[in-house]
Amino acid sequence: MTVSQSTTQTQLPQTDNAQNAEPTAPRLTMLSVVIPIYNEEKTVQKLVRMVAEAPLPVGVGREIICVDDCSTDGTAAKLDELPRLLSETELRIIHKRVNEGKGAALRDGFKQARGDILLVQDADLEYDPADYPKLITPILEDRADVVYGSRFAGGEPHRVMYFWHTVGNRILTWISNMFTNLNLTDMEVCYKVFRKPVLDRIQIKCNRFGFEPEITAKIAKIRPRLRIYEVGVAYHGRSYEEGKKITWKDGLKAILAIVRFSLWD
């Protein structure tokens, strides 16, 4: 595995604290966006630029961690051009020597993250980084420890796509909720945001798409209970002709992961 990086210093505004002020939660000042990538040469540069330019609340900086999961197209070359194209962005690129899957790529990316808040971003343009402010605000305001996006809540723009995919996502979420006693509307959503100490307590074992049910089961088990929020996000789904990768087989594996990580692992 090789890692390259381009770093800039971000000056954050200073604040004056009154001597008699009430104690407050530690201020969170850095967002780490972790992007697992496999064969996305057509979209990866546009996506990373969107992440770099996405609005953030005042006083919050960002770092972008791109994990290339041993792509076989031109993704690696596209990633290596980014430090020059985005010279003002704190950017790290990890090239894996073996393809292991989304979960393994995220596991490697999380280890590199230095931010107070970690956010998962796919590289296929299905999710819009313009949603970052509302995804991280519940954590910044100390109301949440974990925030999930939802494609099925909030009235955001949503491309009309496959009926049976929607049914499958809802069934997987329902089964997950039954085992975790949560009331999520979209367990399989890409956008998941965590305080760093939450992820520090979790060992991710699934290498592939089982990451979604695994992480959901494990945050549900943590005691004292975590404060978990959901916010509606835009979704611009793509077809299989456009490069969508997940299939019904991944749905079956997700059910096994729900049972495994809810009851045992």
Q: What is the pLDDT of residue 156?
A: 80
Look at the alpha carbons of 181, 186, 188, 194 in this order and tell me if their dihedral is positive or negative.
negative
Q: What is the pLDDT of residue 121?
A: 98
pTM comes to 0.89
Is residue 239 very low, low, confident or very high in pLDDT (cuts 50, 70, 90)? Answer: confident
Which is more confidently placed, 170 or 166? 170
Mean pLDDT of 157-180: 89
Asked if 42 contacts 71 with a C-beta cutoff of 8 angstroms, the reply is no
Q: What is the pLDDT of residue 12?
A: 40
Q: What is the pLDDT of residue 166?
A: 86
Which is more confidently placed, 44 or 4? 44
Asked if 59 contacts 14 with a C-beta cutoff of 8 angstroms, the reply is no
Is residue 86 very low, low, confident or very high in pLDDT (cuts 50, 70, 90)? Answer: very high
Listed by start position, the domains of the chain span 2-6+26-263
Mean pLDDT of 5-20: 46
Look at the alpha carbons of 160, 162, 165, 167 in this order and tell me if their dihedral is positive or negative.
positive
Pairing relation of β-strands 91-95 and 2-6?
A: antiparallel
How does the average pLDDT of the chain come out, rounded? 90
Mean pLDDT of 25-43: 93
Is residue 244 very low, low, confident or very high in pLDDT (cuts 50, 70, 90)? Answer: low
Q: What is the pLDDT of residue 23?
A: 53
- Secondary structure (3-state) at 135: helix
Residue pLDDT, tens place only, 115-146: 999 999 999 999 999 999 999 999 999 999 99
The pLDDT > 90 percentage for the chain reads 75
Q: Determine the CATH number of domain 2-6+26-263.
A: 3.90.550.10
